[in-house]
Amino acid sequence: MRRAVFLDRDGTINQEKEYLYRIEEFEFVPGAPEAIRMLNQAGFFVVVVTNQSGVGRGYYTEDDVETLHHHISQELEQYGARVDAWMYCPHHPAGKGSYSLPCTCRKPQPGMLLEAARRFGLLLEQSVMIGDKSADISAARAAGCRPILVRSGYGAAEESCIQGNFEVYDDLLCAAISLCGSE
């Protein structure tokens, strides 16, 4: 059993762009690759958990998501960083066909975190979820993880709307410095 850092993708790792799936539109949030490298070096199992409703809405395909994740992995390698597992939810209530089915994986539901814990032997109570939306904070709480909000992406706008206790950092690098400095 090991601890993990669950990372939201859009707005946390990469610059927020509506329905990002094109490689040429991908751009890291400054410091994100270095942050992921720090988390790797500190012994965290790094899992990206991302809602990808663009699949369900028919804007792009699951292959497009996987192609972008492969590209991000290659970019991270140049920084000596890696994502250990990629998980995404393609569902949305307004989705088409089977993508509109009710699911437990779409954040704020904890399904992706619970599945990762089961699949990879992760200790949720010793793990952290970092994201830029209230849905990320809710998923963390529902899974029993420590919730961290970053102000990149939508985080600055959502910060004042989220109830309860959670940590806040300007971006993923600041969060990683805090997490790794407390080791």
Active site residues: 8, 10
Distance CA 68, CA 99 (A): 20
Q: Could you tell me which residues are beta bridge partners of residue 51?
A: 89
First to last CA, the chain: 18
Q: In angstroms, what CA-CA distances link 88 with 6, 15, 46, 106, 174?
A: 12, 17, 14, 8, 25
Phi first, then psi: give them for residue 152, nearest 5 degrees.
Answer: -70, 170
Amino acid symbol at 102: P
Total residue count of the chain as it appears in this document? 183
